[in-house]
Amino acid sequence: MNITEYMEQVGRQARAASRAMARADGATRNRALGLIADAIERDAAVLRAANQLDLDAARAAGMAPAMLDRLALSEQAIATMVAGLRQIVSLPDPIGEISNMKSRPSGIQVGQMRVPLGVIGIIYEARPNVTVDAAGLCIKSGNATILRGGSEAIHCNRALAALVKEGLAGAGLPADGVQVVDTTDRAAVGALITMPQYVDVIVPRGGKGLIARLMAEATVPMIKHLDGICHVYIDAKADLQKALDIAYNAKCHRYGTCNTMETLLVARAIAPTVLPALAKRYLTQQVELRADAEAHAILEGYPHLARATEEDWATEYLAPILAVRVVDGIDAAMEHINTWSSKHTEAIVTEDYSDALRFLREVDSASVMVNASTRFADGFEYGLGAEIGISNDKLHARGPVGLEGLTSLKYVVFGHGEVRK
């Protein structure tokens, strides 16, 4: 069987299984999740042995230490997977809820029922824990899933897939409710993202390179974000202490995350006060500051100072580097943001009521904040219970995506024999 035929078969099986997954009640789906957690706990040693095969092969192939680290499935990582599954069990069932039920003049009653999307494709890189995390969220939301992990993790992913299928079968659900693509051939990804007849949405989990590649080719819709070029704007009316705390936390809490601040905008009136105080904080972490002319003059003498070019406004550093620009005020700040932002997350620090409301209303990003660190843009911090990904798109799901993002609303009509006049 060639790759196209194989993926066609995987797709057909997923579509068929999706009906049984959607029909299953919440208790059955939870039972499957519990059985998978038990099986992973029981077979921890088997999983670590499979992971060792992947690690040996990756080391032999010269994989970089950072990547090896992501590939490793430690005892701790296994315990976290198990705990994650049990936490998903405890979340409310997203499926079947009927909302907005109204009686219409014709006599019919109309509402919207929350239902699974159908088949979710997940494409990810080295981390084998995604296999279980993603499968768990898709099972909980009544979807069938096709998982395509990195080729480096194939042994571990196979072993995990066997346990997932065992759990599904134990709860009376179809084993094809979750399928792991069992080939390291890259053509499998190309097939998966171009089968809209079998796959309803693709969720890529991985770096920018992966996502850019998929975007160029996919005909199946994706829930994805490419860049996180997030801004903090310190308004002239900012509380100085809040400004220092937020601008420091948004940059230095973690450098590699998509909700980390990459550009700081400061109102001219407060810049001579706030920038030197902030520089003292950044110096403790050796943060490099790339400043426009005005900020550069104020920051003169800071040991890691450089001049910003336009390229800096468009760069997601994911590193202890920060672009800094002095602006006239809120209008110039919003103009900069609407021009350069990747529409992920932006925050204003201000005590001015009208500026706060204007920023919330007029900044066109997935998350917009007043007096809080951009690092809060996260499914758990927002109370979604779990996060399958973050979306920079405006259609369907926007911002952190929880279980609801894996569902759809269909109209349901309760009639009593009504006909259209």
Distances (CA, A) of 208 to 112, 213, 226, 228, 250: 36, 8, 6, 10, 21
252 within 8 A of 282, measured Cβ to Cβ:
yes
Note the Cα 82 to chain centre separation in Å: 20
Q: How far apart are CA 360 and CA 354, in angstroms?
A: 10
Distances (CA, A) of 192 to 147, 285, 417: 10, 43, 44
- Tell me if 327 contacts its own copies by CB under 8 A: no
- Tell me if 329 contacts its own copies by CB under 8 A: no
Part in contact with its own copies (CB under 8 A); list of ranges 35-43, 234-242, 266-274, 318-326: 234-242
Part in contact with its own copies (CB under 8 A); list of ranges 127-135, 146-154, 236-244, 299-307: 236-244
| Strands of 165-249, DSSP E | 178-180, 201-205, 230-234
- Choose, by CB under 8 A, the member of 181, 372, 388, 401 that binds its own copies: 372
Minimum CB distance to its own copies, residue 182 (Å): 27
Binding string, residues 5-34; x marks residues near its own copies by CB under 8 A: --------------x--xx-----------
- Choose, by CB under 8 A, the member of 44, 175, 306, 370 that binds its own copies: 370
Residue closer to its own copies (CB basis): 159 or 397: 397
Residue closer to its own copies (CB basis): 23 or 59: 23
Pairing between β-strand 399-401 and β-strand 389-391 as defined by DSSP bridges = antiparallel
Q: What is the DSSP letter of 194?
A: T
Minimum CB distance to its own copies, residue 224 (Å): 13
248 within 8 A of 214, measured Cβ to Cβ:
no
- Tell me if 239 contacts its own copies by CB under 8 A: yes
For 8, counting Cβ atoms within 10 Å of its Cβ (0-12 exposed, 13-18 middle, 19+ buried), the class is middle
Residue closer to its own copies (CB basis): 166 or 262: 262
Binding site for its own copies (CB under 8 A): 19, 22-23, 96, 102, 104, 106, 108, 110, 113, 115, 117-118, 200-201, 221, 239, 241-242, 245-246, 248-250, 253, 338, 347, 360-362, 364-373, 375-377, 381-383, 394-396, 398-400, 408-420
